[in-house]
Structure 1
Amino acid sequence: MIAPLQFNKLPKWKIFILLYIFNLSKNLMESKFSSFSFILFRVCFWIAPHWDDLWLNYLKLLYKKSKFRKAALLYKKSIYLSPTFSTVHKLGEFISKRGNLNDSFHREFINLIKDNELRTMVFSLCKSKELYHPSKFWLYHLVFNIIQIELNGIENFKRSVNKNYFGWSHHEDIISQIETILSNFTVNESEIFNNIDKKVLSTNQMKEDLTDDGWRDYVRLVILLYKFSSSKDDENLFSSVKESTLGNPILVDIDEAKISQDLPNTIFEINTFTKYLKNDERKKLNVIELGAGHGRIGHTMLQKYTNMKYTIIDIPPALFISQWYLSNSFEDKKVFKFRDFDDWDSVKDDFETSDIRFLLPHQVEMLPDKYFNLFVNISSMGEMVKDQIENWFFHIDRCTEGIFFLKQYSDLENSFDSINISKSDYPASSKWQTLSDKTNPLFSSFFETVYRIN
């Protein structure tokens, strides 16, 4: 992976040469001899190929020379060094903070996307109103996650991209969740661990993100999530749904089942909002989810509720992943795949007869009023800017007659867009009825609110 240079691991003569050439390269970047910097940077890469400052300064040189195609290729190459690692890359941060979806770098990057369907989705997003373009936070992840898909394959997305879709891989997040669950749930951990196969604890499946001790904490978290969610499963979802192996998930053997952190989190969330559905709503569920990640909510609900229509609105590559995942998971269901359209009437019949539908964000404007009876949004609005949040609350109110489930960070600092989004920034209508509003008992950094919209 790209990392700060560890000088104690290099001979002193190499350090001297490296720093001399590196500083000379940076000085030449600002002079009329900047072309010589390219040669000097290549020498530096030969000496210290994983040094993050070297990659970043070379990227800056490419930007200065308007060599955006080379910059896009450089960024892709930097991810190659560690394609499943989930931390923020300095190069991506530099690119997204200075850019937008239609700038020269991103145009060159989009042209390099190998998959035609994914590239078409991104081009369609580019043509939409800026209000529906990704924030700088999600612009970073759009590029980073596309590169991860190309490197690891979509068939392995649960070991790479999914770490950005409510799939926790940072040790501090794992510990925080464990502490939250133990404060809300009485459990005999030693008894649980005595029944766990020791191979599960010793086989670290997340070595890029976690130490062996961190992996044992991850196993501990998955077990606690499973036990807690099982105790709250009024919908009996655990008995009727299965964890999918599509996407190559990181699974833990529990009670003769293979479970990842996705399934217990999803089952707990579904139980949280379905208890407020009226009988007539249950009989004919029409669900829309904004920012669905890989489609874990839909995957679970489609197994349980046979009388359901499910719509995802998202940006690529998330929309591309969820479309692949759900289409392959439910081959017997009719799917309205993403497409460009200019008005509702041109797609109405096909949309309404489909069980699963996929849309880009700007296409919400063409959906009819009061069309859905359940709207779900989990951990994606906090990473938007405020005018985007306000716009989505307008459409949630317009499109929904029924339940709205909102789960977000209580307070989130977005350094990419230089904003802080807190719970008070979500402009719920005074006409909405608040049915439940509490701190999430699985992760105290989140709040979860259930509204009824009439």
Structure 2
Amino acid sequence: MAKTSVLDDMLTDMESAPQEFKPTNFWNSGLKKIVDDIQEFGISSFRTHPSARFFYVPVYASNTYSRWRHILDPILAKLPPRKRKRWATRLTHSDRARADYRLYRASERSGGLDLDKVSESTDVDGERFEFDGRAYSYPMLNYMRALNLLKREVDTSDFASCLEIGGGFGTLGEIFLKAQSNGIYVNVDIPPVAAVSTWYLQQVFGADRVLDYSQSRLMDEIDLDDLKGKYSAVVLCPWQLPKLKGQFDLFANFMSFQEMEPDVVANYISIIKPLIARNVLVRNHAIGKKVAEKSGDIGVLEQVTTGFIVEKFDGFDVLARDSFVHGALSEDGKYQSEVIVLERSPKS
């Protein structure tokens, strides 16, 4: 009998998982598209899949350029240098990437996690920009600006473990483990994205350094202390979260709590709170994700706001919150993506 893939195992096990650990309305609307793209194009090209751009691999480039790059690049190459640069900037939005990089540099703090050592892997195809000899993608610059807010508020020099829910293709794991080479990163995510992040982290750090679902699915207990030293990264599915034991220096959630329903978020937070020894770093829309017109449409059925998230982290104090530099704030104020740093209260 042929060995099934990690993704096949995840999808099969998800069918019998408790409802609170299954994809909610937002992700159900895109689940089939993502799986279909992986099956048609292969997992190695995930960053250029049509579904990835919308659901888990944000990019700077315009929709026009992303869709027609294979036609536009040869045309741009024939233009005079000044005109080529002007049109390339319009299409790729490289100016926005540079602006985010400048914010990252302007807000950086010395000491703590050594973000200056971080450069995104170029072994996997996808959009990235090079500044000062290092490569960055849209997700990486988002994370790094937020991490600067964390570094401003707390000493991260001895942070050695990070737990994330909804880690996309593993960007925070790449940052954290390159900044702290002896650290360990655990990502909990739904399939098929959990399979993508497993594959990506294996390409960056080596397959033997990443504990994948085929190795962990039958574990009765997933103990952080047992995993340290053996693995750099661990990718789990949500229904495995109750099996996770240990104490993490940092918990992170970026732009995924807002894609869930309030009862699901409340359940996740209730499970992870005992696992967090020190700090929480979250970034989500302040007013919540777009509400779907009906079940099955793209959007959430009920919004999760940043206020709701903070409320559920009782026993933690808010140290800082920002949209203007470390998150995102539109000129009219209607779009506000807020980064919040919390710390476990001494009383808890």
Q: TM-score range by the shorter chain?
A: 0.7 to 0.9
- Aligned residue pairs total 305
Residues 144-153 or 286-295, more deviating: 144-153
- The SS at the match of 1:243 is coil
Q: Does 1:399 align with 2:265?
A: no
Residue 312 of structure 1 corresponds to 187
Gaps of 5+ in 2: 64-80, 330-335
- Please identify runs of 4+ aligned residues in structure 1 that moved more than 6 A: 345-348
CA contact (8 A) 2:166 2:189 kept: yes
Gaps of 5+ in 1: 1-113, 173-195, 205-212
Q: Does 1:349 align with 2:226?
A: yes
- Equivalent residue in structure 2 for 1:329, among 204, 228, 232: 204
Q: Does 1:120 align with 2:24?
A: no
TM-score (norm 1): 0.61
Larger Rg: 1
Residue 379 of structure 1 corresponds to 255
Partner Cα distance (2:270, 2:340) in 1: 17
- The SS at the match of 2:312 is coil
Residue 261 of structure 1 corresponds to 138
Partner Cα distance (1:286, 1:314) in 2: 17
Q: Does 1:244 align with 2:135?
A: no
1:418-451: CA deviations, max 9, x gaps?
A: 3233233223344211111222534122111111
- The SS at the match of 1:242 is coil
Q: Does 1:421 align with 2:296?
A: no
Q: How far did 1:353 drift?
A: 3.2
Relative to structure 1, the CA distance from residue 199 to residue 449 in structure 2 (aligned partners, 3 Å threshold; closer, same or farther) is: same
Q: How far did 1:245 drift?
A: 1.6
Q: Does 1:135 align with 2:20?
A: no
Relative to structure 1, the CA distance from residue 422 to residue 345 in structure 2 (aligned partners, 3 Å threshold; closer, same or farther) is: closer
- The SS at the match of 2:253 is strand
Partner Cα distance (1:274, 1:404) in 2: 12
- Equivalent residue in structure 1 for 2:285, among 402, 406, 409: 409
CA RMSD in angstroms comes to 2.9
Partner Cα distance (2:242, 2:174) in 1: 25
Partner Cα distance (1:347, 1:227) in 2: 36
CA contact (8 A) 1:432 1:453 kept: yes
Partner Cα distance (1:440, 1:363) in 2: 36
Residue 321 of structure 2 corresponds to 437
1:311-350: CA deviations, max 9, x gaps?
A: 0100111111111111110128622111312521799735
- The SS at the match of 2:124 is coil
- The SS at the match of 1:374 is strand
Q: How far did 1:351 drift?
A: 6.5
- Equivalent residue in structure 2 for 1:157, among 36, 41, 46: 46
Residues 330-339 or 131-140, more deviating: 330-339
CA contact (8 A) 1:336 1:351 kept: no
- The SS at the match of 1:128 is coil
Partner Cα distance (2:155, 2:139) in 1: 27
Q: In structure 2, what residue type is equivalent to 1:164?
A: F
Q: Which has the higher relative contact order, 1 or 2, with Cα contacts under 8 A spaced 6 or more apart?
A: 2
Partner Cα distance (1:362, 1:145) in 2: 20
Relative to structure 1, the CA distance from residue 123 to residue 352 in structure 2 (aligned partners, 3 Å threshold; closer, same or farther) is: farther
1:113-165: CA deviations, max 9, x gaps?
A: x9722111111222210110000211122221122222333222222315422
Matches within 5 A, 1:354-365: 354-365=231-242
TM-score (norm 2): 0.78
Q: In structure 1, what residue type is equivalent to 2:231?
A: S
Residues 307-316 or 140-149, more deviating: 140-149
- Give the fraction of aligned pairs with identical amino acids, expressed as a percent: 19
CA contact (8 A) 2:60 2:97 kept: no
